[in-house]
A and B are shown apart, each in its own frame.
Chain A
Amino acid sequence: MHGTFIDVEVSGAAASDPELARKLEEVCPVDIFAAAGGTVEIARENLDECVLCELCVEAAPRGTVVVRKLYDGTRLER
């Protein structure tokens, strides 16, 4: 389930990296990520609060985190 405006994807292997989970939880200003049991969990109810700051994209290894803007189809990724 995604938000009305925003979706966030974390690729399979990265999603179970406890270090990345901790980092994402720390950088996101609107609590979209939680490090639960060593894996990355996404708080779906907060997705639409995403401020498009790209901190998650920058904090994660290249190509592992993508923020999708559902209203125009563009993506934040590296």
Chain B
Amino acid sequence: MRFYEYESRRIVERAGIPVTDYGFATTAAEAGQAAERIGGPTVIKSQVLTGGRMKAGGVRFADSPEQAEADAAEILELEIGGHVPVGVLVDPKAEIEQEYYAAVLWDGRAKRPMMLFSDMGGIDIEQVAAEHPDHVGRGHLSNLHPIADFEAKQAVARCGMTGSALNRASAVLARLARLQRDYDMTLAEINPLARLADGSFVALDAHMEMEDEAVGRHKPMLHEIGVDLDEPRELYEPSEFERNVKAIDAADHRGVIQGKDHGFHGDLGLVIGAGGGSLTLTDAVRSQGGRPANYAEIGGNPSVAKSKGLAIEVLRKDGVEKIAVMMSIVSNTRVDIVARGVIKACLELGKDPAETIAIFRIPGAWEEEGYRILDRYGVEYCDRSVSMWEAAGRAVARVQGDRTGSQ
């Protein structure tokens, strides 16, 4: 779950990290009042869940409350990348001595949180890491042990900081690390973290992302900072495919299906799932040179209608002539029921299941019954003795064979 900047600011503030005397406003008049209260020049920032605000004109500098109000009125009307702002953040224009970068993120490879700190803040951290690696300090944290301040200090010291700045910045990073753990953040980032003329550190901008599965555990905190859990927070407008799959899933309590196609432009439709199988199988298709047309998840014993619904949606996608129906592990999902569903999808679309289903590999309950159905329709299938990677390879070969044949 992503947070708006003003919500991230509240989360950071709750964790005891100093922030500027900011204001959040949903109307131009409120923005003017916030600027009046803050006093002096202000920055008015659009609150949208997308990047590119500065370029799109969603960040403006105002010298007076009147100008802040006028800027806010324009920003509130400005759509950025298809996103309508939920409000504006009014920030004082701080007198900054130096900008830093502080983050704690989940390192999937190390399976541990990782702290990142740089004395070159305000710019893209990837660029800093590539061009000035000695200006980036890193440090992994234990998943079990309490987070000690000295661990944060080590990470900050690795980019060459010393003295009072080191102590003050370390305290911020340690708090950020605790916040990341306490609230199951996949990313807790402050960029820039500013050192002001008096030597104090304040978070000027923060970016938080919470693990979706953890949202339920943190309802009290989310409620406290004013997050509306009913409001959709998609990073992009869901496609027709995604909306349809969601509706099919919601209409029938049996089993689970999911489908995503944002960023997918391939020709092999995927009806895949079970125990982390979706990611593994999508990777397997790619590593075999295939081009997935979508991401999907199917499992938990879906009905025939639900399996059919997912397969129909996948087969309706532009450029998809074949689907691969695969699952990873032996699960309780009934093979015969899914086989019925995907074959029915082909038949209802006037397609030959034997031609359309590039491979069927579901190790699970009622396999033999499933194979009898697949035999009847001439669908190519394999059992658990064929690896996921190999099965993906067979599917890719069939799609590529078709493409070669039609050239």
Contacts and interface: CB of A to CB of B under 8 A. Distances in A.
A41 B343 CA distance: 27
Interface in A3-37: 4-5, 30
Which DSSP category, helix, strand, loop or mixed, fits chain B's interface?
A: helix
Interface stretch (B98-106, B143-151, B368-376): B368-376
Interface in B281-332: 303-305
B405 to A, nearest CB: 29
B340 interface: yes
A77 interface: no
Interface of B: 303-305, 334, 336-337, 340, 343-344, 347, 369, 372-373, 376-377
17 contacts: A4-B343, A4-B344, A4-B347, A5-B340, A5-B373, A30-B303, A48-B304, A48-B340, A48-B344, A49-B305, A51-B334, A51-B337, A71-B372, A71-B373, A71-B377, A72-B372, A72-B376
Nearest to B372: A72
A69 B376 CA distance: 11
A48 B377 CA distance: 16
A49 B337 CA distance: 8
A52 interface: yes
Contacts, number: 24
Interface of A: 4-5, 30, 48-49, 51-52, 69, 71-72
A30 B336 CA distance: 15
Contacts of A51: 334, 337
A49 B376 contact: no
A72 B374 CA distance: 11
A71 B304 CA distance: 15
A43 B376 CA distance: 25
A4 B343 CA distance: 10
Contacts of B340: 4-5, 48
A30 B254 CA distance: 11
A54 B303 CA distance: 18
A49 B304 contact: yes
Nearest to A72: B372
Pairs of residues from A and B, 9 with the lowest C-beta to C-beta distance, nearest first = A71-B376, A72-B372, A71-B373, A48-B304, A49-B304, A5-B340, A4-B344, A49-B303, A48-B340
B124 to A, nearest CB: 53
A70 to B, nearest CB: 9
A51 B347 CA distance: 20
A4 B376 CA distance: 12
Contacts of B305: 49
A67 to B, nearest CB: 13
Contacts of B372: 69, 71-72
Given A48-B304, A48-B344, A49-B304, 10 more contacts: A4-B340, A5-B340, A49-B305, A51-B334, A52-B336, A71-B372, A71-B373, A71-B376, A71-B377, A72-B372
Nearest to B377: A71
Contacts of B344: 4, 48
B72 to A, nearest CB: 55
A52 B369 contact: yes
Contacts of B303: 30, 49
Nearest to A74: B372
A65 B312 CA distance: 33
B304 to A, nearest CB: 5
Nearest to B343: A4
Contacts of A52: 336, 369
A69 B373 CA distance: 9
A17 B372 CA distance: 35
A1 B199 CA distance: 82
A49 B347 CA distance: 16
Nearest to A5: B340
A52 B343 CA distance: 18
Most A CB within 10 A of own CB, among B304, B334, B347: B304
Most A CB within 10 A of own CB, among B334, B376, B377: B376
Contacts of B304: 48-49
Contacts of A49: 303-305
Nearest to A4: B344
Contacts of A48: 304, 340, 344
A48 B304 CA distance: 7
Nearest to A47: B304
Nearest to A30: B303
